[in-house]
């Protein structure tokens, strides 16, 4: 695995989870803000939610139900985020650090919803590729790695998450801890996005004005950060990528 040099975007022949010809609504971290997520889900576009459905906000169960409904109706999907993985491990009976946010989420889930949530999180992809307007798009929760394009995301292991999957879920930690107790994260991975690829991600709340934060590198790659603090005193953000912007003859790829 090499994340030091730029790689060329690649495509696979695997079927895309995004229906051909549909536009996409990219939705940032929900964190239990079911009311805002319900509004975001009212669209004719295919919904790609970037992970972290639960914890912090007032209605994690409601947010999970909306995500499950989108999947069942084939109108959307959610990516695997670090909070989703932790929830799945707790639902599976494995040992996790039980903070108040996770404890509150678990208290909201009845038996049926627990089983459905565990199955959906277990099946959630860590990243999804798409072709839009002549550009390659990659949706991921935490951060980009040059081994992602053209590769199927691996399933989450029972043990420690490492390598490309770690980047997808947690971004790129510096190894230092901030004053608030959370790991400090670097955006060096943005500099490794190749020309022609736009990465839509959540996880890091980088916005200073309440709008999604856009960062471009010298190579021509772009990262769009959609976490604007839903469930944590901020609000939910989303971006629409309409189908009419897809050039004739192009189809989404994953």
Please give the distance of CA 105 from its chain centroid, rounded to a whole number. Answer: 19
Note whether 227 and 203 are within 8 A (CB): yes
Residue-level pLDDT at 201? 97
Please give the distance of CA 20 from its chain centroid, rounded to a whole number. Answer: 20
Residue-level pLDDT at 158? 83
The mean per-residue pLDDT over the stretch 152-168 comes to: 92
Residue-level pLDDT at 11? 47
Residue-level pLDDT at 175? 77
For residue 242, count other CB atoms closer than 10 A to its CB. 14
Checking if the pLDDT of 180 tops 80, the result is no
DSSP secondary structure string for all residues of 131-165: EETTEEEEEESS---TT-TTSPPPPPPSS---HHH
| CA gap 18, 172 in Å, rounded | 27
Element (H, E) at 30: none
Structure pTM?
0.89
Pairing of strands 172-177, 213-216: unpaired
Checking if the pLDDT of 117 tops 90, the result is yes
Q: Which residues fall within 8 angstroms of residue 73, CB to CB, at 6 or more apart? A: none
DSSP secondary structure string for all residues of 160-177: ---HHHHHHHH-EEEEEE
Interval 193-246: pLDDT, tens? 999 999 999 999 998 899 999 999 999 999 999 999 999 999 999 999 988 644
Note whether 196 and 20 are within 8 A (CB): no
Residue-level pLDDT at 142? 96
First to last CA, the chain: 20
Pairing of strands 46-49, 24-27: parallel
The mean per-residue pLDDT over the stretch 26-33 comes to: 98
- Of the candidates 21, 65, 29, the residue with the CA atom closest to the CA atom of residue 49: 29
More confident residue, 132 or 163: 163
Which residue is it, tokens 């309440």? 210
Instruction: For each of the domains in the chain, give its residue range(s) and CATH number, in order of start.
Output: 24-245 (3.60.21.10)
Note whether 250 and 134 are within 8 A (CB): yes
> Virtual CA dihedral for 188, 135, 227, 7, nearest 10 degrees?
-20
Checking if the pLDDT of 43 tops 60, the result is yes
Q: Where does the pLDDT of residue 173 fall: very low under 50, low under 70, confident under 90, or very high at 90 and above? A: confident
Residue-level pLDDT at 4? 38
Residue-level pLDDT at 104? 96
Note whether 149 and 138 are within 8 A (CB): yes
């Amino acid at each position: 695995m090499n994340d030091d040099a730029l790689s060329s975007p690649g495509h696979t022949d695997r079927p895309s989870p995004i229906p051909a010809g549909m536009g996409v609504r990219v939705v940032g971290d929900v964190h239990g803000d079911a009311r805002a997520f319900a509004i975001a889900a009212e669209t004719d576009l295919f919904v790609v939610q970037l992970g972290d459905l639960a914890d912090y906000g007032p209605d994690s169960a409601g947010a999970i139900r909306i995500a499950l409904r989108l999947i069942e109706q084939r109108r959307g999907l959610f990516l695997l985020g670090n909070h989703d993985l932790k929830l799945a491990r707790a639902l599976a009976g494995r040992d996790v650090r039980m903070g108040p946010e996770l404890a509150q989420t678990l208290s909201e889930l009845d038996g049926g919803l627990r089983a459905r949530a565990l199955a959906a999180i277990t099946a959630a992809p860590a990243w999804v590729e798409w072709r839009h307007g002549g550009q390659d798009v990659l949706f991921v929760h935490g951060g980009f790695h040059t081994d992602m394009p053209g590769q199927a995301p691996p399933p989450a292991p029972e043990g420690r998450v490492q390598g490309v999957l770690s980047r997808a879920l947690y971004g790129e930690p510096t190894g230092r801890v901030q004053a608030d107790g959370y790991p400090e994260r670097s955006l060096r991975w943005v500099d490794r996005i190749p020309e022609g690829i736009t990465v839509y991600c959540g996880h890091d709340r980088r916005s200073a004005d309440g709008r999604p934060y856009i960062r471009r590198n010298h190579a021509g790659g772009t990262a769009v950060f959609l976490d604007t603090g839903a469930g944590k005193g901020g609000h939910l953000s989303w971006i629409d990528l309409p189908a009419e912007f897809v050039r004739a003859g192009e189809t989404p790829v994953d």
